[in-house]
Amino acid sequence: MLLLSVNLFLNTLRMSKSVAVIGAGIGGLAIAIRLSLKGYQVTIFEKNSYAGGKLNQIEKDGFRFDTGPSLLTLPESVIELFELAKKDYRDYLEFTKLSSTCKYFYSDGTEINAYSEPEKFAEEIAEKTSDKKSDVLMFLDSNKRKYQLTSEIFIFNSLHKIKNYFKKEVINGIINIKDVDVFRTMNQANSTLFHDKKTIQIFNRYATYNGSNPYKAPATLNIISHLEHNEGAYIAKGGMYSIIKSLLDLCNQLSIKIEYNSNIEEIVTKNNKVIGLKIDNKIKEFNTVVNNMDVINTYKKLLPNYKVPNYLTNQEGSSSALIFYWSINRNFPKLDLHNILFSDNYKKEFDYIFTEKEIYKDPTVYIYISSKYNKSDAPDGMENWFVMINTPYNEDQDWDKLIDQSRKNIIKKINSFLKVDIEQNIISEEILDPRSIETKTSSYRGSLYGNSSNSKFSAFLRHPNFSNKIKGLFFCGGSVHPGGGIPLALASAKIVSQMFDKNH
């Protein structure tokens, strides 16, 4: 009897220190590292044969492409993981701060360099538009204050724990709610200060960083421009995927196990408690699971006994993307690392995406050429083009038709802006669309960031980082609080890790 009791105790102790993480995206890797450093035995289950999720790469015929995120802000969110492990991140990663975050092109021939240094950027705006240098600097300064007022509320703490609202930083943000600018849309705020369409377009574009519509999203999102211009934007040596490779190295050193090609069928519960994962018709026992998979698809596919919360399905999903990965057989000195070819009718483009659920004939085109910085990403004299437009999420549109027509419109636009016949320079092509985004990354309907931020209450309507109904179930990644993108996905992992301190 005593031996049985001891075995039961040891088994309970083992399970209490064992954690399953669903998904080896950047959020999943980050929470695995954090929990491993707290003494937990962590196993990551990944449905694909590779890690990274949206942050991945394609290698083909001497060309290398980052498949997803192409810009990094707040690099300290990555560096912190190595510091926690008492490692020097420079042994794993090399970041370079960009002198210019993007080059903007307009149909009238205007070109604007978005210099990282605020003074230089403001001078560029004043030289190329009718807006004033002082207004740009005032705008960036006000966005810095927005960030200071909101970061502790909306990014680095849970919005779903009452005690957090009594913190000094949160109370200060509430007192200064007017400065947070939540009651105006981004476009309303930007159109009030600036008068030139070109300037307004540049700052409205930041809504797309979390898949939102600047004509609906709150002006609070202008904090994103603060991160790029006041804090700085970065590129990693070896491409953005080198971030994933460095975290995989750290996972390996911490003996974190990753089981690839894992066909997870269910998060198994009993009496509203997690008891394990059903994988290939077998149950692996865990009393704690951290889910890094898209939250809506998690409910739909892995929690058959629980309904998707209405507040999630009632919200507007974020935009998706159509991406062409083109191997280009020549160099284009006119282009920078990051380039935007703007639409002539920005509002109509967003109306098509979010209202018509279609793709506008004159889309804004983003071209990311990592070989401008990482020369090994393309053969000598050639370039690797990541060519993207924003699209609606998948609602069973005729994507083959949309892709064919959009490709023609994109090529027409590039030819017009660069005075070339770009079709003659494309030697190979890969395509990612909303359907394949969902297939490869489990993103619900191919939305890149879960739900959009197209209302002033969106931040409060993201799924919390824990389950209110299922004990032992936590959530991280871009579809839950605080949102999508590398820094926010890493922040979600940090929030979950803090919850473990209190729940275990």
Residue 101 one-letter amino acid = T
Residue 82 and residue 148 in one domain: no
Whether 96 has a pLDDT exceeding 90, the answer reads yes
Return the higher-pLDDT residue of 414 and 160.
Answer: 414
The pLDDT score that the predictor gives to residue 30 is 98
Express each pLDDT in 275-325 by its tens digit: 999 999 999 999 999 999 999 999 999 999 999 999 999 999 999 999 999
Residue 204 and residue 324 in one domain: yes
* CATH value at residue 339: 3.90.660
Indicate whether 491 belongs to any domain.
Answer: yes
Rounded Cα gap, residues 151 and 260, in angstroms: 35
The pLDDT score that the predictor gives to residue 271 is 97
The pLDDT score that the predictor gives to residue 75 is 96
Whether 494 has a pLDDT exceeding 70, the answer reads yes
Residue 197 and residue 256 in one domain: no
The secondary structure of the chain in percent helix, strand, coil, rounded to multiples of 5, reads 45, 20, 35
Residue with tokens 């949206």: 54
Query: How many C-beta atoms lie closer than 10 Å to residue 480's C-beta?
Result: 29
Residue 295 and residue 326 in one domain: no
Q: How confident is the model at residue 6 (pLDDT cuts 50, 70, 90)?
A: very low
Q: What is the arithmetic mean of pLDDT over 106-110? A: 97
Q: Which domain holds residue 75?
A: 2-56+67-95+240-315+459-503
Task: Write down the mean pLDDT value for the chain.
Answer: 93
Indicate whether 446 belongs to any domain.
Answer: no
Residue with tokens 């709150």: 218
Q: What is the arithmetic mean of pLDDT over 152-160? A: 76
* CATH value at residue 303: 3.50.50.60
Indicate whether 429 belongs to any domain.
Answer: yes
Residue 142 and residue 287 in one domain: no
Indicate whether 466 belongs to any domain.
Answer: yes
Express each pLDDT in 360-389 by its tens digit: 999 999 999 999 999 999 999 999 999 999
The pLDDT score that the predictor gives to residue 5 is 45
Q: How confident is the model at residue 13 (pLDDT cuts 50, 70, 90)?
A: very low
Residues whose CB falls within 8 Å of the CB of residue 362, separated by 6 or more in sequence, listed in order = 343, 344, 345, 349, 409, 413
The pLDDT score that the predictor gives to residue 10 is 40
Please state the pTM of the whole predicted model.
Answer: 0.93
H-state helical runs in 129-240: 133-150, 168-175, 177-180, 186-193, 197-204, 223-226
What is the number of structural domains in the chain? 2
The pLDDT score that the predictor gives to residue 356 is 97
Q: What is the arithmetic mean of pLDDT over 212-230? A: 95
The pLDDT score that the predictor gives to residue 467 is 96
Residue 89 and residue 102 in one domain: no
- Element of type H or E holding 416: helix 399-418
Whether 12 has a pLDDT exceeding 60, the answer reads no
Residue 210 and residue 122 in one domain: yes
Express each pLDDT in 452-489 by its tens digit: 999 988 887 899 999 999 999 999 999 999 999 999 99
